[in-house]
Structure 1
Amino acid sequence: MPDVNIVESLEDARNRLRTALTNAGRDPASAHLLAVSKTQPAASVRQAFEAGQREFGENYVQEALDKQAALTDLDAIVWHFIGPLQSNKTRAVAEHFQWVHTLDRERIARRLAAQRPPALGPLDVCLQVNVSGEASKSGVAPADLPALADVVATLPQLRLRGLMTLPAPSDELATQRRPFAELRELLASLRQRHPQAPLDTLSMGMSGDLEAAVLEGATWVRLGTAIFGQRAPRA
């Protein structure tokens, strides 16, 4: 497989996002690209950083910690945890990430809050919602979202920023838009319920449905292979 030119791929991804925002009638600066760097080597992250990318998403805690250790000179890098989070990994995430997009259980929320070093300030979190109701997907059910949000909003070391979803795939734009529209409506309801919380984030949309997500208000879109190429198998 030929090497991917990360600089060119990253610019293509930025152009795609800008075009989608413009076509949706939105401010081109109202959504951001999260580069999904899971299974990619630290050298690829460094190349993307040198091309201006600052926000990176990781799914596997130990792999991410190894990468972070190799990139300690990149002071401005921002690490987002976007994978399923187990109880035995919460301390590492609380200590080494700035964002968590996949919070879906009260127990995990309380552990993250208790283990977040005060000197780092609150951890920005999104609640993952299983809008498609898929048994194979993580995420809180929409009906259970308000209760989880109520708990998270009381934890001083967590900052509730918004919602995240990973819906069932579809090739049809209208079908793609429906779960994203539901997530947007759920966020609007949470804003009314928690007017003091900085609920400004919709983490939704990947390579196959970026345009649909942007039409429904995405503020973070998660792209991996579009930037880095095909992922290497995990060791």
Structure 2
Amino acid sequence: MSTIAENIAKVGVRIREAAQASQRDFSHIGLLAVSKTKPADAIREAFAAGVTDFGENYLQEALDKQTQLSDLPVVWHFIGPIQSNKTKPIAEHFAWVHSVDRLKIAERLSAQRPAHLPALNICLQVNVSGEASKSGCSPDQLSALAHAVTQLPNLRLRGLMTIPEPTDDVTEQRAAFARLRELQQSLNLDLDTLSMGMSHDLEAAIAEGATWVRIGTALFGARDYSNS
């Protein structure tokens, strides 16, 4: 087994054990492999080991990889900050967008989604920790944004995403993820997705209801940003 395949197996065990500990169905938790800064060959290797969903932060890098991997039925997720001038290629080339944080971006994605493609799956990014450096709408803005997005054609609002302030304190990790779950419940919309948890805190996220865990380092090793 390659190192990537071994890592995928280890992460799979972590997800299963976390699901079991919180009495959740393992099949309801998706592994989203965060492949930013990693070469197409690494994605190909991970796909061969059973991973189908890959998350990218940088648009041009992602489009280049999509061209190189066009022979594989990869499900592509855009998970990075979105600039207005980048919405058209995102709308055209991704199945999921996890990082919508304002209505203008959602409106552009809806208008630019090609008619022959299914509705674009959307998660609204919420800044649960209130960090100035983090993207995401504030919890106070969430309800208005969510209800507006549900009215847009060509989009399917699936749920919420967050990247809380990093901490090694499991109680604090769980509190941040619980906040996102509670915010989603308060919307009273038919949503099925909580995109939360990364390599260092996936157990806490699963305990609080994560349906996608976004895992990069634990699968592919440390990232190389020299070419980003």
Q: TM-score, normalised by structure 1?
A: 0.94
Q: Aligned equivalents of 1:110 and 1:38: distance in 2?
A: 26
Partner of 2:132: 135
Deviation at 1:98, TM superposition (A): 0.2
Instruction: Say which of 179, 182, 187 aligns to 1:182.
Output: 179
Q: Aligned equivalents of 2:115 and 2:31: distance in 1?
A: 28
Partner of 2:148: 151
| TM-superposition CA deviations, 1:59-111 (whole Å, max 9, x none) | 00000000000000002x10000000001110010000000000001110000
Q: Aligned equivalents of 1:101 and 1:233: distance in 2?
A: 22
Do the aligned partners of residues 234 and 79 (structure 1) sit closer, same or farther apart at CA in structure 2, a change above 3 Å counting? farther
Deviation at 1:202, TM superposition (A): 0.2
Partner of 2:102: 105
Partner of 2:192: 200
Instruction: Say which of 45, 48, 51 aligns to 1:47.
Output: 45
Q: Which runs of 4+ in 1 moved over 2 A?
A: none
Q: How does 1:27-38 map to 2 (within 5 A)?
A: 27-38=25-36
Partner of 1:167: 164
Query: Which structure 2 residue ranges, 5 or more long, are not aligned?
Result: none
Partner of 1:231: 223
Aligned-partner SS, 2:13: helix
Partner of 2:86: 89
Deviation at 1:42, TM superposition (A): 0.3
Q: How does 1:53-72 map to 2 (within 5 A)?
A: 53-72=51-70
Query: Which structure 1 residue ranges, 5 or more long, are not aligned?
Result: none
Q: Aligned equivalents of 2:89 and 2:11: distance in 1?
A: 30
Percent sequence identity over aligned pairs = 61
Partner of 2:10: 12
| TM-superposition CA deviations, 1:162-200 (whole Å, max 9, x none) | 00000011111111111110100111112x2x3xx4x10
Partner of 1:213: 205
2:98 aligned partner, one-letter code: H
Q: Aligned equivalents of 1:62 and 1:112: distance in 2?
A: 17
1:143 aligned partner, one-letter code: D
| TM-superposition CA deviations, 1:141-166 (whole Å, max 9, x none) | 00100110111000011000000000
Deviation at 1:234, TM superposition (A): 3.8
Aligned-partner SS, 2:153: coil
Partner of 1:21: 19
Q: TM-score, normalised by structure 2?
A: 0.97
Aligned length: 226
